[in-house]
Amino acid sequence: MKVGIVGAGLVGATAAYALTLRGSCSEILLTDQDEARARAEAQDIAHASPVSHGTRVGSGPLADLRGSAVVIVAAGANQKPGESRLDLLQKNAAIFRELIPQIVAAAPDALLLIATNPVDVLTDLTVRLAPGVAVMGSGTVLDSARFRHLIAGHAGVDGTHVHGYVLGEHGDSEVIAWSTVTVAGLPVADFMAARDHEWTPDIRAQIEADTRGAAAQIISGKRATYYGIGAALARITERVLGDRRAVLTVSAPTPEFGVSLSLPRVVGRSGVLDTVLPALTDTERAELAASAGVLRESLATLD
């Protein structure tokens, strides 16, 4: 299976590297307006191929996306310190209006996986620009991983045994859905009690704050986030390629909220196959509705 990546910056290149190390696909094509950057990134990543899974990695123009089963769109302006994801909207929307039709012309059968921020609104814009094409955004897959990581650290367990979701916007209004959290099949409070670990409202509040503030903390220290999102994009891509029917909090159009946002969704080869709304608390439902409202306001600025 061939995967195309549009945008060979830190996120796009790291996604390509993660796909190579995981053996997620047979071929990767990196393309970027900066051809020299795309060529150099592809060459560097290709050198990891013989000591991992033998993935073929190359670069080329947009036309070389032909035959791709998935195209990851990571092109656009980067988030700067102190800048919200929604601040990026107008400049990246202009890029997408030019770029998305070219991608579809080159790879009309590919699923488009949007990584560029603000990812939810740009997912909606891509759906408008590419009617009939399967589209999803990376959504809160990364946010949910950050949430699980922090809970796992307090519980003293492998993070793969923690399940729980961040819903709504991939951004400031995201919903930390504590009601969805389990550790080894137990509600989080029960698991902490079983291991005699302290579990207080202050601990929960700190985990929530660290989940929401993770991107800002990383950007403050090193100017960009790319390892976490690169791995998340690789995971989503391989679930699509393998028709795995994985449940992931990707972003997709959600008619009941009037906008693309993140909910647990069954993901397969043709994209989002189904959506499952968890049994949220009244507070969480209100927060999700408010998050959708934030996104609708942003989307309206593109009309």
How far apart are alpha carbons 127 and 132 in whole angstroms?
8
Q: Say whether 170 is catalytic.
A: yes
Active-site residue (options: 53, 149, 170, 197): 170
Q: Where are the beta strands (DSSP E) in the chain?
A: 2-6, 27-31, 56-59, 70-73, 111-114, 135-137, 162-167, 175-183, 186-187, 246-248, 251-254, 259-262, 265-268, 271-275
DSSP secondary structure code for residue 173 in this structure: T
Q: Which residue has the tokens 């509040």?
A: 205
Backbone phi and psi for residue 108, each to the nearest 5 degrees, phi listed first: -65, -20
Q: Is 70 exposed, middle or buried (0-12, 13-18, 19+ CB in 10 A)?
A: buried
What residues contact residue 7 under an 8 Å CB cut-off, 6+ apart?
32, 73, 74, 75, 76, 115, 116
Q: How far apart are CA 258 and CA 108, in angstroms?
A: 26
**In 3-state terms, the chain is what percent helix, strand and coil (to 5)?**
50, 20, 30
Active site residue ranges: 170
